[in-house]
Amino acid sequence: MNYKELDTPALLIDRDIMMKNLQSMQQYANVNKVSLRPHTKTHKIPEIAIIQEELGANGITVAKLGEAEVMAESGLTDIFIANQVVGRQKIERIRELSDTIEISFGIDDPSQLPDIEEVFEGSGKKAKVLIEIEVGEERSGIIEESDFVILLNELKKSKNIDLKGIFSHDGHSYMAEDLEECKDIFYTSVARTLRFAELANENGFHLEVVSIGSTPSLIQGYDIPSGVTEIRPGTYVFMDASQANVINSYNQCAATILTTVISKPTRERVITDVGAKGITAQTRSKGITKTTGLGRIKDYDEVYIYDVYDEHAIIYNEKFNKEVKIGDKIEIIPNHICPVCNLHEKAYLISEGKVFGEYEVKGRGKLQ
């Protein structure tokens, strides 16, 4: 059926655009001779993760242990949790997963080691960890080289933990003033990551993985320096309004929210049936990913969501008001697609205007 026959609000995925995005990033990884381990927190859909692996991805990345469990249940067998996993309960779940799949996770402090060491005592496999390096995002990760060496020395004493590698995330690239600054952030972050890889080598560790990545940097196609083994972009699969601003084109936006015009109270105001519970209230306020409003209306020039309530989107545009009538269905390109996917139970797969399948968003709501 035609996709506009769907009830609303509905999460749509244009399969043709998505496949081009996936193939493009895989080709970029291949040309640079690095592994692609895509971050699946964007889509949270095992079937798409399987497509990514079929195209050449070497395993997947997740943000939460619950996401890893969902992906493992669906047949994904090589998973990295790009986050610190803290607490005995969670470590026990990782040990259980390690019996059937290849799983690794992040650390950044010696105090995280005792629980891991104890839980993996007597296990047939060692816990596989990667140390996170803070490269300027001002989030988690080791900052000082001296602290890194202290952690390495603690790992040398461990009998049940294997240091697989290091990873970093140049998330501050989202706020770069322009593409030149984005490039500077990328190469500075990579250089810092490689310095820590060198430091690990000097201290007797030969790292299997040196992993980097964020979508704004990687979609620019920068040459990846030698020493990096892996990239972990996520949003590239669907793109969104913020990423579209980076490349100055909305043509790569594969995911949209179908919504119905339900009210036109004034000559300017248009109300649709999706609000914060379906598109979030997130905006990006600065840099190359800066967005206007709370979402862009697809196929209408410079028409944006002005505000949202829980179940309503508010648009102020007199020309747009004249062009649509109550009952019409329009599409919203979200500002940030990752949390939007987390709000929907399923996504409809479309191609050339027709619905030909649907995916359950199995990883949604997996906060633990």
Distance CA 97, CA 349 (A): 30
In whole angstroms, give the CA distance from residue 271 to residue 297.
Answer: 12
Interatomic CA distance for residues 16 and 54, integer angstroms: 16
CA distance 133 to 169: 8
Number of residues assigned to the chain: 368
DSSP string, 235-289: GGGT--HHHHHHHT-STT--EEEEEEEEE--SSSEEEES--HHHH-S----SSTT
pLDDT in tens, 59-81: 999 999 999 999 999 999 999 99
Token pair in block for residue 269:
């105001």
CA distances in angstroms from 105 to 126, 274, 338, listed in the order given: 12, 36, 21
**Cβ proximity of 272 and 313 under 8 Å:** yes
Cβ neighbours of residue 229 closer than 8 Å, sequence gap 6 or more: 34, 35, 165, 208, 209, 210, 211
Q: Give the pLDDT score at 124.
A: 87
What are the tokens at 79? Answer: 């998973």
As a whole number of angstroms, the distance between CA 306 and CA 248 comes to 21
Q: What is 32-233's CATH number?
A: 3.20.20.10
Asked if 260 contacts 4 with a C-beta cutoff of 8 angstroms, the reply is: no
Is residue 31 packed enough to be buried (19+ CB in 10 Å), middle (13-18) or exposed (0-12)?
Answer: exposed
Domain spans of the chain, in order of start: 3-10+242-360, 32-233
Calculate the alpha carbon distances from 17 to 24, 322, 365 in Å. 11, 30, 26
**Domain 3-10+242-360, CATH among 3.40.1280.10, 1.10.260.40, 2.40.37.20, 1.10.287.620:** 2.40.37.20
- pLDDT 10s per residue in the chain (368 long)? 999 999 999 999 999 999 999 999 999 999 999 999 999 999 999 999 999 999 999 999 999 999 999 999 999 999 999 999 999 999 999 999 999 999 999 999 999 999 999 999 999 899 999 999 999 999 999 999 999 999 999 999 999 999 999 999 999 999 999 999 999 999 999 999 999 999 999 999 999 999 999 999 999 999 999 999 999 999 999 999 999 999 999 999 999 999 999 999 999 999 999 999 999 999 999 999 999 999 999 999 899 999 999 999 999 999 999 999 999 999 999 999 999 999 999 999 999 999 999 999 999 999 99
Q: What is the pLDDT of residues 232-255, one digit of tens each?
A: 999 999 999 999 999 999 999 999
At 121, list the tokens: 């005592």
Q: For residues 154 and 167, give the distance between their C-alpha atoms in angstroms, rounded to a whole number.
A: 19
- CA geometry: angle at 360 spanning 359 and 365, to 5°? 140
State whether residue 231 is helix, strand or coil. Answer: strand
Q: How does DSSP assign 126-171, residue by residue?
A: -EEEEEEE--SSSSSSB--HHHHHHHHHHHHT-SSEEEEEEEE--G
CB atoms within 10 A of CB 124: 8
